[in-house]
Chains A and B, each alone.
Chain A
Amino acid sequence: MQSKYNYLITVGLVMVLVAAVFIGCPRDAEVTHEAADRVYIAPGDLDEFYAFMSGGFSGQVSVYGLPSGRLFKEIPVFSVKPEEGYGYELETKDLLMTSFGHIPWDDTHHPSLSLTDGIPDGRWLFINSNNTPRIARICLETFKTMEILEIPHSAGGHASPYATMNTEYLVSATRFSVPVPQADVPISTYKENFAGTLSFISVDDNGTMDLDFQLIVPGFNYDLASSGNGPSHGWMFFTSYNVEEAHTLLEVKASQFDKDFIAAVNWQRAQECIGDGQGRTKEAEYYHNVRNPDTFMSESTRKTSTTVLEPDNCPGVMYFLPTPKSPHGVDVDPSGEYIAAGGKLASVIPVHSFSRMLEAIENEAFEDHVNGIPVLDYEATIAGEVQDPGLGPLHTEFDNRGYGYTSAYISSEVVKWEIGTWEVVDRIPTYYSLGHIMVPGGNTMEPYGQYLVAMNKSSKDRYLPVGPKLPQGGQLIDISGDRMRMLLDFPLIGEPHYAQAIPAEKIQPNVKRLYDLHQNQHPNAVRDVTEARVVRDGNTVHVYMAAVRSHFAPDNIEGIHVGDEVYFHVTNIEEEWDIGHGFAILGDKNPNILLMPGETKSIVWKPDRPGIFPFYCTDFCSALHQEMQGYIRVSPEGAGTPLMYGTGDEMVTR
């Protein structure tokens, strides 16, 4: 068998080389001017869908419009963003707190829209970070990160967050198994000492996350997940690879067995077992960081324990479904009955049946047990195999007409197949090395089957070259007809792993235009220029500053000394749509802060030399934006310059 797969890989590589030889020849001959009409959004008109793309190693989420492919925004999530002050300003700094300290970066993977009855409801977007496992919640009224929860006892938080049908749970599974709890052991003791965890994170009505429980599972690499829908509600499916439990040269050693596993977890059963006292409390260290929408401030809480559950103590909580071969994606169809797996080294797409799985459990059709977890018979759960699905099948999305679409990495194509007959009905090449695909709603109970976005890992000659590091390429494909049609290329930020899309009308009416200044409960806000002031407390100076077209109040400050710690609490007291201000000081080691109307932000400045330090508005606000500036006088330590401040001709002395 092994030689067969080597053969497949070789063929794949040869195809890539052949493709490279033909670069420059006319491609996409089927793309016509008609495609332009499908994606052209006339100036002033709006897109049909919001698309949220993971930023991969950018650590962020980018927001695009579909079908135009226009980039609207990059939402800072796990990485600092000097452009707006995120992660530096006091209001957001604590969001990036972890048990390892403040981390300025991560690797975002899979966005997941909050669901009600299996359909995106437009309240929140969740996204995981892979490197230091965490899940973030983004509010879709403000497009701001409001919460980040760290996942303990895990490394490589890859199979995450994948909301359940009513956002009861998000999940996070271990991609890189480690000792649980962490320990100093020889790496070669992997099989004895390493374990994985499947974490279930509950979400309350306000969106607040809480780590409800963790299943302790064998030390495989848990890769991706998908929630049951409809009849399969209450179940969560995780793919795994490296059931060989290799700890080195995984590319070979983890590719030996014909089949790895899909782990099917009955989380309602887990809740019962924990309710019956089968769970136990385990020491842990992780951070839960929440931002208050009214005060703008974030607060970090250090947590010290979790509830863990061993599958041994809870029969029926978990089963393994053998699945060829190092499966990557696992995707439940809109009916909730079929579970498609993308075996990246497999020659077929196996599709399991949920109802057959239940029968197999009922009949105890087990072929083995691993750590006490029953392994179901492959033939007993399989509904069908899609033959000839392209090389390196990874991810499947569904439309609303009974078709699945699977990305094939090695053969760079999308393969369309029919549920039930398991026959491939169409295929379309993508450029190049296709990873994730996304049909708006394609992972939910009601897909919108007009478009498919292909997220390619490589773009090579698709754009004007910009040095060795090229953008990864999004491609929009029309899937509304019998044949798929290529419509558009558009470059993406970072590495686009998964994406989500939702009809614009589910979000647009709720998006905030500004923050209500009168509801601003930031402890250091000013609501009017008359409240602006400077207060000294020992070596700490607090500047309560107002920004309003086209000046700062105060805009002249004297009596600051070297060695002082100067807090600038700046409030944009505008109450008008799209009138932002920014704030930056000469030589400050912080980036600028951006302030939207009604918003307050704070930074700490530590002047280290005497002199005059201008500050200015960085966000073009008005006809006299260029005049929106001020000066701070810094005197040598101990000079005793009296504290004075003001705007206009009168200075206040303290």
Chain B
Amino acid sequence: MKLEKESRTLFAVAVVILILLYFLPIWRIDLKAPQYPEGIGLYILIDDIRGQERNNLLSVNRLNKYIGMQAIVPEEIPELQIMPFILGGVIVIGAVCWFTGRRKYLTGWIILLVIVGIAGLVDFYIWAYDYGTNLDPQAPIKVPGMTYIPPLIGTKQLLNITASSYPASGGVIAGLSGLLAISALYFDKRLKKKRAQ
């Protein structure tokens, strides 16, 4: 069954806006501590982890050293190398699906998008769990029973630091893309029903 013109346009927008993910941070981790009135935090991009302000990543690594957390070295995280290709795949497949103009391909692309999204979040949590629990036994500061897993989403108190983790602009766009694709599907059904009358 072919997609209606309007829903096909929505589908196109859903695919195209994903290109922005190459430029915008997907996730953000904000750290608040009494001695950082200026704020400190990280952005997770499709291919990088970087400080929200210059040198923030260095600062985070120097602070984490005290609790024995491994340094975050973006070059050593293989996912950051692979993710741009996965995103590229999602966009290309989306384009092909759009080109066919068939509704079942739209449905298929939505399922793909959801799977990739969930996989990304699971991977993020695995890394966060590893950083937060795999601590250097020689760390100067050891708090019995304490782990430092940052929240996947939401806010958590880690010693003197209040860590908040939320989707950044890229994450919002990814969500929007999914919503647009789902609404394309939904409106397509309604339009067809309307036009059949």
Contacts and interface: CB of A to CB of B under 8 A. Distances in A.
B137 interface: no
Interface in A604-647: 622-624, 627
Interface stretch (B54-62, B124-132, B148-156): B54-62
| Most-contacted residue by chain A among B62, B65, B66 (CB, 10 A) | B62
Nearest to B160: A623
A72 interface: no
B66 A624 contact: yes
Contacts of B141: 623
A575 B58 CA distance: 8
Interface string A280-318: 000000000000000000000000000000000000000
A622 B38 CA distance: 18
Interface in A300-345: none
Contacts of A574: 62
B36 to A, nearest CB: 9
Given A623-B66, A624-B66, A576 B59 contact: yes
A576 B55 contact: yes
Contacts of A575: 54-55, 58-59
Interface string A546-590: 001100000000000000000000000011110000000000000
B140 interface: yes
Given A549-B62, A576-B62, A577-B38, A624 B140 contact: yes
Given A623-B141, A624-B140, A576 B58 contact: yes
A570 to B, nearest CB: 18
Interface residues of B, number: 10
Nearest to A624: B140
A577 B55 CA distance: 10
Contacts of A549: 62, 65
Nearest to B54: A575
A549 B66 CA distance: 10
Nearest to B66: A623
Contacts of A622: 66
A624 B63 CA distance: 11
Contacts of A623: 66, 140-141
A160 B5 CA distance: 80
Interface in B117-141: 140-141
A576 B62 CA distance: 10
B60 to A, nearest CB: 10
A650 to B, nearest CB: 15
A548 B38 CA distance: 21
A623 B38 CA distance: 20
Nearest to A44: B37
Interface string A535-551: 00000000000001100
Interface string B37-56: 01000000000000000110
A624 B59 CA distance: 16
A340 to B, nearest CB: 46
Nearest to A627: B140
Interface in B49-101: 54-55, 58-59, 62, 65-66
A627 B140 CA distance: 11
Nearest to A548: B62
A624 B65 CA distance: 12
Interface of B: 38, 54-55, 58-59, 62, 65-66, 140-141
Interface of A: 548-549, 574-577, 622-624, 627
The 9 closest A-B pairs by CB, nearest first: A575-B55, A576-B59, A575-B58, A549-B62, A624-B140, A576-B55, A623-B66, A577-B38, A624-B66
Given A575-B59, A576-B58, A624-B140, 12 more contacts: A548-B62, A549-B62, A574-B62, A575-B54, A575-B58, A576-B59, A576-B62, A577-B38, A622-B66, A623-B140, A623-B141, A627-B140
